[in-house]
Structure 1
Amino acid sequence: MELDHIKSQNLILFEAISGSRSFGLATENSDTDIRGVYYLPKEDFFGLHYIPQISNETNDITYYEIGRLIELLQKNNPNILEILASPEDCILQKNPLMDLLKPEDFLSRLCKDTFAGYAVSQIKKAKGLNKKILNPIDKERKSILDFCYILQNQGSIPLKKWLKTFPYNGGQGGLLQEKCGLVNIDNTKGIFALFYNESGDLNYKGIIQHEEANQVSVSSVPKDEKPIAYLFCNLDAYSTYCKDYREYWKWVSERNEDRYNVNQHHGQNYDSKNMMHTIRLLQSCEQIFKTNSLNIRVENRDELLDIKAGNWPYEAVMEKAEALISSIEYYHSVSTLPEFPDLEKTTKVLIEIRENLY
């Protein structure tokens, strides 16, 4: 089923402009998002062709089947509650049956998890993004050799540096890691005795067998051989690096370059548009518990657009978010809202709507 079909068959119950325009945050560059509600013809609803929602390719136009809409309202889904709370000047069409759905019948203490919980997850992403922008990782991937150190006197030196500068047999040519042999030292973690065999006749395995190795190699070493050094391999640090490397370059490959360039231009090292909406979501959550109602049209447009423009330092945005979270915790603790929406009552409303439609 396509969008054109539900329109041509007059199946739409509700249609409204959503997103920045409904929040009162639209600028000349803002997209126009549409959210709507439809119902399935009787034969599809009772048959095997239930379609819960329909979107266009870019997801800026999405319609929800009335049953799916109420299911999500009962879960206090923020996006769906915001559809129900659409300002009058954003509503494009509305079937009178939609008046049976009142936001106050769905608002509950569950909003703390859905509104604030989602916002907190976005804050964690913002912190992760901040870390990525401030700590770029070279494309050339390090090997485990970069996390190995030679114990020396009361400290240590990087293995690679030590290999280059070690005057083996009085020479100045350094050592080759391929001719080294490592032996585990009992009762230690990550510390090895290091042996060297210039001729290669002892068949040492080297410190690593190839550049992509995820651990050092150990060798069989004759008992009469003497170690020339002791090596420490920081495997935990290497594992953390591999995780950070993988996440960083995955982010680079998937990031929205236009938005990234905007964020780089204002120099605040966070996704300013995303954080604007995160603050807005926290404010909506605070409002729900302060007033037992939801009004999505913001009262601090200039402040929020100032955040979007990157005029707030990262620390200031995080401080505002944390203050809102603390306020939400307080108002939630004294809220008179029910723990959950009344499922029986709201399901009866759905049944009443369907009976009228069919």
Structure 2
Amino acid sequence: MDFKMLLETKEYQFLKTDKHLGDKIILLGLGGSYAYGTNIETSDVDIRGVALNSKSDLIGMSSFEQRVNEATDTTVYAFNKIIELLLNTNPNTIEMLGLKPEQYLFLSPIGQELLDNKKLFLSKRAIYSFGGYANQQLRRLQNAIARDTLTQTERETHILNTINNMMFDIKARYEKFENGSIKLYTDKAIQEEMDTEIFMDINLSHYPLRDYKSIWSEMNNVVRDYSKIGKRNNKKDEFHLNKHCMHLIRLYMMCLDILEKEEINTYREKEHDLLMNIRNGEFMSETGTMKQEFWDLLNEYEKRFEYAKENTSLPANPDYKKVEEFVISVNERAVRGEY
């Protein structure tokens, strides 16, 4: 497929006409299965990108964080927003810096600078972002497979554990506060149809409303996703379960590259066959659960992850000074229109 020609079609004209995009775009690349090399004939084409903040965003009163076009599965992040996400080694955005050269559909000189500086964003935060995300995916997987045997109490515990292992940047905000705290736990249910349920003890003062809104939204999404998974009951769902298992292993592969090699490798060329075998159901039993071979494979990656997080040479945090210098340089050019 000629992806660059695809961008010239009518469906993608918003990339040129949106006032926050157009000539402000510095990077466009493939996302999803095509980015990982695990696409199949029916895979959707996902596009991910970065656009500079405008002068009015930076020193005026307008605001731009990202543009999402659901019809084309396209997301373009504002430069300042992507920097924030990259500093926390956000799995869904750090992968944009690890594509194969031919998977970048557009790359401006400033976009190339971003790629050249990608190592600035690598730190031990990947332990929490990738590890927490993988843990979340694993618990969702376990819940989906065991949907017929889990009690309501066990299910609620799964949800709580997932929330407690959410991505690092969100986790830091709801576990530790300068002016209070939010404590999550299970107890005897108040709702009649439940035995136990999750409760919150909230003690906050002078806390930003928008931050709290973000925290609440993340927790709500977890509860909503578990409700969807619980309704899995056909062959289509087995297809998604295999895909889910594949992405869980892929997460560990990518995280290990970061911790062990200090590299971002989104396209999984060497592990392609293994990942596709998982996706195609070769690790699923006739009963719709995963074979022991899958759990053994997962266990191997978990052990490697535990070792890598204790022995990685990455710094605890990114080099904020160098990142700031880069951001100032880019935003000064954005304000002057030099891009």
Counterpart for residue 146 of structure 2: 131
**1:179-328 alignment, distance < 5 Å:** 214=192, 239=195, 254=228, 260-264=234-238, 271-298=241-268, 299-313=270-284, 314=290, 315-328=292-305
Q: 1:87 aligns with which of 92, 100, 125?
A: 100
1:259-280 deviation per Cα after TM superposition (whole angstroms, max 9, x unaligned): 953344x7xxx81111111100
Q: 2: distance between equivalents of 1:65 and 1:87?
A: 22
Gap change, CA 1:122 and 1:6, over 3 Å in 2: same
1:271-322 deviation per Cα after TM superposition (whole angstroms, max 9, x unaligned): 1111111100101111212211111111111111111122104133232222
Question: What TM-score, normalized to structure 2?
Answer: 0.66
Q: 1: distance between equivalents of 2:126 and 2:72?
A: 24
Q: 1:254: Cα distance to partner?
A: 3.4
**1:10-159 alignment, distance < 5 Å:** 10-57=23-70, 60-101=73-114, 102-133=117-148
Q: Percent of aligned pairs with the same residue?
A: 27
Gap change, CA 1:106 and 1:326, over 3 Å in 2: same
Q: 1:339 aligns with which of 304, 316, 320?
A: 316
Question: Larger helix proportion, structure 1 or 2?
Answer: 2
Aligned-partner SS, 1:10: helix
Q: 1:133: Cα distance to partner?
A: 4.7
Aligned-partner SS, 2:30: strand
Gap change, CA 1:7 and 1:306, over 3 Å in 2: same
Q: 1: distance between equivalents of 2:96 and 2:226?
A: 33
Unaligned runs of 5+ in 1: 138-212, 216-237, 242-248
Aligned-partner SS, 2:267: coil
Q: 1:6: Cα distance to partner?
A: 4.1
Moved more, 307-316 or 88-97: 307-316
Instruction: List 4+ stretches of structure 1 deviating above 3 A.
Output: 6-9, 133-137, 249-260
Gap change, CA 1:256 and 1:135, over 3 Å in 2: closer
Q: 1: distance between equivalents of 2:316 and 2:233?
A: 39
Aligned-partner SS, 1:271: helix
Q: 1:240: Cα distance to partner?
A: 5.2
Moved more, 3-12 or 75-84: 3-12
How many residues in Structure 1 have an aligned counterpart in Structure 2?
Answer: 252
Aligned-partner SS, 2:23: coil
1:217-264 deviation per Cα after TM superposition (whole angstroms, max 9, x unaligned): xxxxxxxxxxxxxxxxxxxxx7159xxxxxxx9779735989953344
Q: CA contact under 8 A between 2:262 and 2:314: conserved in structure 1?
A: yes
Question: What TM-score, normalized to structure 1?
Answer: 0.63
Gap change, CA 1:47 and 1:96, over 3 Å in 2: same
Residue identity matched to 2:235: N
Gap change, CA 1:123 and 1:8, over 3 Å in 2: closer
